[in-house]
Structure formats: C-alpha cells, structure tokens
C-alpha cells in the first residue's frame, strides 16, 4: 500500500516505510524524465541515497541537437531528508502528486521543473531476484506519468517546458550499487539480465508495461496497466498477459528499431506500435560508467560530461542501457488509433536467446 511517506527517501527495505531492515546495497532513488511534444529535446533527472555507503548522488542530463549534456554530482550523505546534492535538489510539494527539481547553474546547466501526476502512481510488483543465496535485487517501485512545467537551460539557452509530458518513478530496496562486491556469491546464477520498460503518454490516458525475463525469455516480473487521467489508487485496468512482439533490432546492437506491444483486454486486444527516434544513454544519469550510482567521489564532486550521440559506440556495454524516445500508436478494438509519445527503456546484458543474442 502506497502512502505519502513513500515519496521521501527514508526507506530501509524493499517494503513501504512501515518496515525496516539493513543491507549494504540498500538504495532509495528518484527518477524523472520529460520530452518536448516535437521530440527535439529530452531530459532526465536522477537522485539517489545509499545509507550504508554514506553516499548521495544526483544527475541532470539533457539531449538537444544530437548531444547529451550531463551534470553529475556526488557527496557524502548527511540528513536523508535534505534532498540536495551539490547544485541539484528535490522538493516534495505534495507527496504522490507534485514534486519539483531545482538545478542551480553549474557547469553550464540549470533547471527548474515541476512534475504533476496525471493520475495516482502505480505500484509495480515487488522485484525479487537472487544470485544463489544472496539477494541480487529486492525492491519496490512506484511509477507515474506527469505533466511538466518550468524550464531547462544548457549553455545559456533556456527552453520553457510547460505542457511537456514525462514520467517519474521512485524505487527503494536492494540493487548492486557502489563498488563491486570483492567476494561475489559462488557459483554465479545470474547469467543475463533482460529489461524493457515503457511508460507512455497519450492525450487522455497513460499506458505502462515492463518485463524482466531470463535469457530464455521467461518473464520473472511483468505487468501492464492502462490508466485514464485523474484515476485514483484503485482505478485503471491491468493485466499480467501483455507481451512485446515483432521486435526488430538495429543491426549489430541490442536496441530496437521497431516493436509492438500487445495488451489483452476483455473486448479483445490493444496493440501499440513503437517508432524509436531519439536515444538517451542511461549512464548519463548514473546507470553505469564513471558516475555509477553510489560511487564514492569524496566529500563533494560536480562535473559535466557531453556525449555526441552520433559518434557514440552503441555496441559498447556501457551504452546497452538506454531510453529510446518513441512515437507510439495505440489501437484498441472498436476505437480510433491514438498517437502518443513515451520511452522504450531497454537493457539486455548477457545472452537473450529469443533475439538471437
């Protein structure tokens, strides 16, 4: 059960706030993204705390003109209710409904963005995966599509973002964070990791789908939800039977060129076609690379990174994890097709036999 306390980084386990415990890899994280209606600009923000590592970090990353501009910040963790790391801070204006990100000017980047939920957030099924006897993942996540207001600025060029759509999530629990474990469990039982996540914005509704699967394509965590605007905590429609079909990979990569999502309905089947057109590298907000989540950088470190996407080797493992901004078309039985925008997040690490990887 989600409560207002779940929008603050005070969790101790993969359970809601009422439950507590300890683990070296415990984390508590915010993630936000937003995109222009024309798809020309995409941004994301991440903010995480790692209580047992005594580290907090935050990131702003903006794609415009084919370049991903990243601002990274890392600091020693102080008060977990002080949602600031260097120039980046989060304000919880109304838990589970309105949050604000402020990025004070640093290294040529700045932002002030308010995110307002289109409906009550969904609580995804608890993610539990073990590597032998040790918990590899054990976390809870809420996800919410949002409307954005405010602005983002790169090198003095400010862009108003009022009316943009996006998504946010809050997750807490156990994932690998910080430095790799010097003594991993043996024998290793996690041979690959497959992940797809698709929060989609249409004019009057949101559609959510995710799947974690093993290397043979067997899902171990999956769900789809269709949520009309303004829906409360008990509204919407969901099914565990959704599936991603007709995935065509970009040759030589682990990223989709096109795909189609099928969602069973009582009156038939909804189908959503994906046309990815902009690539956002998740390492730009700390998912791997030099600024990986929970990495120790000293008392305070702030740096900028610029990534020219056309010159980036998308085959390299550090670039496997992406969000592909996509034009999407929703077709439902008896209804007219609807156009929308959303992300198609993808991470395929190791073998995935259904795609020939």
pLDDT class of 52 with cuts at 50, 70, 90: confident
201 half-sphere exposure, CB direction, 13 A CA radius: 25
Structural contact between residues 159 and 152, judged by C-beta atoms closer than 8 angstroms: yes
Question: What pLDDT does residue 306 have?
Answer: 98
The mean pLDDT value for 178-197 works out to: 89
pLDDT tens-digit series, residues 76-113: 988 788 899 999 999 999 999 999 999 999 999 999 99
Question: What pLDDT does residue 267 have?
Answer: 86
Strands 41-50 and 55-64: antiparallel
pLDDT tens-digit series, residues 23-44: 889 899 999 999 999 999 999 9
Rounded to whole angstroms, how far apart are CA atoms 310 and 65? 11
pLDDT class of 21 with cuts at 50, 70, 90: low
Question: What pLDDT does residue 254 have?
Answer: 98
Question: What pLDDT does residue 160 have?
Answer: 98
Using a pLDDT cut of 70, give the percent of the chain over it: 97
Least confident of 134-138, 161-165, 207-211: 134-138
Is the confidence at residue 18, as pLDDT, over 80? no
Is the confidence at residue 1, as pLDDT, over 80? no
Joined together, the tokens standing for residue 102 give: 């402020």
Q: What is the mean pLDDT of the chain?
A: 93
Question: What pLDDT does residue 24 have?
Answer: 86
The mean pLDDT value for 129-140 works out to: 91
Structural contact between residues 150 and 164, judged by C-beta atoms closer than 8 angstroms: no
Question: What pLDDT does residue 20 have?
Answer: 44
In the chain, helix, strand, coil percent, each to 5?
5, 55, 40
Question: What pLDDT does residue 8 have?
Answer: 85
Question: What pLDDT does residue 16 have?
Answer: 53
């Amino acid at each position: 059960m989600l409560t207002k306390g779940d929008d603050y980084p005070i969790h101790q386990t993969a359970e809601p706030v009422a439950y507590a415990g300890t683990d070296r890899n415990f984390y508590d994280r915010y993630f936000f993204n937003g995109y222009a209606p024309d798809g020309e600009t995409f941004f994301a923000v991440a903010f995480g705390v790692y209580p047992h590592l005594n580290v907090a970090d935050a990131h702003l990353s903006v794609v415009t003109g084919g370049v991903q501009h990243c601002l990274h910040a890392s600091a020693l963790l102080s008060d977990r209710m002080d949602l600031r790391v260097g120039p980046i801070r989060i304000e919880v204006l109304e838990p589970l409904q309105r949050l604000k990100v402020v990025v004070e000017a640093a290294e040529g980047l700045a932002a002030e963005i308010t995110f307002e939920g289109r409906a009550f957030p969904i609580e995804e099924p608890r993610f539990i995966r073990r590597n032998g006897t040790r918990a590899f993942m054990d976390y809870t996540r809420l996800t919410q599509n949002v409307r954005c207001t405010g602005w983002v600025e790169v090198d003095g060029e400010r862009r108003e973002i009022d009316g943009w759509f996006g998504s946010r999530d809050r997750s807490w629990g156990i994932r690998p964070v910080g430095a790799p474990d010097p003594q991993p469990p043996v024998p290793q039982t996690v041979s690959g990791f497959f992940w797809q996540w698709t929060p989609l914005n249409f004019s009057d509704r949101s559609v959510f789908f995710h799947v974690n699967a093993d290397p043979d394509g067997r899902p171990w965590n999956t769900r789809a939800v269709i949520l009309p605007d303004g829906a409360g905590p008990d509204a919407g429609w969901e099914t565990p039977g959704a599936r991603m079909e007709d995935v065509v990979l970009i040759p030589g990569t682990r990223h989709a060129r096109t795909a189609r999502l099928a969602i069973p309905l009582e009156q038939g089947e909804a189908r959503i076609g994906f046309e990815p057109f902009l690539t956002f590298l998740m390492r730009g907000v700390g998912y791997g690379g030099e600024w990986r989540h929970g990495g120790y950088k000293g008392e305070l470190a702030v740096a900028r990174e610029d990534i020219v996407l056309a010159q980036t080797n998308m085959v390299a493992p550090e670039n496997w994890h992406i969000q592909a901004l996509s034009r999407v078309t929703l077709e439902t039985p008896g209804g007219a097709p609807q156009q929308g925008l959303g992300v198609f997040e993808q991470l395929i690490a190791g073998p995935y036999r259904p795609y020939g990887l």
